[in-house]
Amino acid sequence: MYNDNPTLESLAKTIDESKQGSVYDRGHPESAEEGDRRRFYIESYGCQMNFSDSEIVASILHEVGYVPTREMEAADLILINTCSIREKAEETVRKRLQVFDRVKQQRPGTLVGVLGCMAERLKGKLLEEEKLVDLVVGPDAYRDLPKLVHTAQDGEEAINVFLSREETYADISPLRLDSNGVTAFISIMRGCDNMCSFCVVPFTRGRERSRNAFSIAAEAADLYQRGYREVTLLGQNVDSYKWEHPDTGELVSFAKLLEMVAQVHPDLRVRFSTSHPKDITDEVLYTMAAYENICKYIHLPVQSGNSRILERMNRTYDREWYMDKVRRIYEIMPDCAISSDIIAGFCSETEEEHRDTLRMVEWANYSMSYMFYYSERPGTLAARKYEDDVPLEVKKRRLQEIIRLQNQVSYRHNQKDIGKTFKVLIEGDSKRSDQAFRGRNSQNKMIVFPKAGGLKPGMYVQVRVTDATSATLMGQLTT
């Protein structure tokens, strides 16, 4: 088993000695011990990778004397980790920058920085034209952040958006910001080689590169030792993970990596996101089926249910191929839940092609989906080759039809769970009542149930489902 490997043990020890953890848990930033240290405030938007990256940024800043604060007005450095996947996300960031600018006016000397994908996409424009930020740092340049802060303090242009072919931040122990102490993300790779015509990610995060497999397993082991009971392995396309051992030449696939992390401890749950349909293999599916602690849930974005639109999106599969993959998942793991990403109103999409997507939602029986209407992103293949010719009102109407259907499918999906008993990991209090806990089952469904004496977050319990909405299961503890 991999958790007996001396290399893994030494890596885990290295991580433990670096005191990986939430700096919020090490004392309030304004405590006597840390009162004179400079403070940073960070907001994150977009995908889980951005939230994971913010924890890497926090670690880098902490090493040079910064501590986090939840109070923006108390910060010496205000950072926003951005997303460029949709226009609305960028609009949100611009509005936040206006708020940050008002804070700067009230607190002279405060610096504002833009991190992540929007920083990479807009580069110098944020510094030169908008005058709202002091530093711009791309996803592969976070190690340079302390130097860029000094540069900005000197009144000079502070920008680094260089895209690397090697950077994985494998040696940096993320500081868990706002963690519940139960679940955590582990970044296993960076970048993307899939040139989907609608997507800006390959241009903002660069080419794929996979992180050292033993460092990933060691991070998972350290998290378990500190009380965490679930890790989510993150990548733009986790199924294309591939790492070669520099000494032995052994190739570690995603299936093998899943096994390594699952073997850390049977009580450590393992999830992953996101899968590209073209890359998920039977080996991955059989590995999931073999380990109880690998969650039976796959996020498998379809984007469109129509083959012509899929070709235009450069998704490299057609409708029938995707359906065969879904059938294979259910064949190997009948209890697996599948979710999806869906784009309404892509370039030239017809009403009949839209109905193909609706039929796919119904057929695939998605437990849930992330659904959006198409937003053209500058620099993408679609922006260069295709006319964004579906009227906005049509996009919005089609999106509402997809949402309405998915809610119905999710409701039926959840209704079938009534009467079943699931192993649930307690994550914390219910959002609606401190008299109830919430936690997820293996299929990634949130279950709410009344509290009982002696239980606390991080424990596993058996819960029998008694009721369900389209989004949540309700239940009772079983003995």
| Residue 407 is assigned to a structural domain of this protein | yes
* Torsion sign, CA atoms 371, 376, 381, 382: positive
In CATH, what number is assigned to the domain containing residue 411? 3.30.750.200
In CATH, what number is assigned to the domain containing residue 41? 3.40.50.12160
Judgement on whether residues 221 and 329 belong to the same structural domain of the protein: no
Mutual angle of helices 282-290 and 319-332, in 10-degree steps: 20
Residue of 278, 255, 273 lying closest to 328 (CA atoms): 278
Side-by-side strand order, sheet with 66-68:
66-68, 38-44, 77-82, 111-116, 135-137, 158-160
Cα separation of 421 and 416, whole Å?
12
What are the backbone dihedrals phi and psi of residue 60, each rounded to the nearest 5 degrees, phi first? -60, -45
Judgement on whether residues 311 and 276 belong to the same structural domain of the protein: no
- The Cα angle at residue 259 between residues 254 and 265, in degrees rounded to 5: 140
| Residue 343 is assigned to a structural domain of this protein | yes
- Pick the last residue of a domain from 368, 396, 416: 416
Judgement on whether residues 396 and 378 belong to the same structural domain of the protein: yes
Cβ contact 284:254 at 8 Å: yes
| Residue 121 is assigned to a structural domain of this protein | yes
pLDDT tens for the chain, residues 1 to 479: 334 343 434 434 433 333 333 333 333 333 334 456 899 999 988 788 888 889 999 999 999 999 999 999 999 999 998 877 777 777 888 889 989 999 998 988 999 999 988 877 777 777 776 678 999 998 889 999 999 999 999 988 899 988 888 888 888 888 888 778 999 999 999 989 999 999 988 888 888 999 999 999 999 999 999 999 999 999 989 999 999 998 899 999 999 999 999 999 999 999 999 899 999 999 999 999 999 999 999 999 999 999 999 999 999 999 999 999 999 999 999 999 999 999 999 999 999 999 999 999 999 999 999 999 999 988 899 999 999 999 999 999 999 999 999 999 999 999 999 999 999 999 999 999 999 999 999 999 999 999 998 999 999 999 999 999 999 999 999 97
Identity of residue 255: A
Cβ contact 60:145 at 8 Å: yes
| Residue 268 is assigned to a structural domain of this protein | yes
* Torsion sign, CA atoms 397, 403, 409, 415: negative
> What single-letter DSSP state applies at residue 355?
H
Element (H, E) at 466: strand 460-468
Task: Look at the chain and report how many structural domains it folds into.
Answer: 4
What are the backbone dihedrals phi and psi of residue 356, each rounded to the nearest 5 degrees, phi first? -60, -40
| Residue 165 is assigned to a structural domain of this protein | no
> What single-letter DSSP state applies at residue 181?
S
Judgement on whether residues 36 and 3 belong to the same structural domain of the protein: no
Judgement on whether residues 452 and 389 belong to the same structural domain of the protein: no
Judgement on whether residues 203 and 286 belong to the same structural domain of the protein: yes
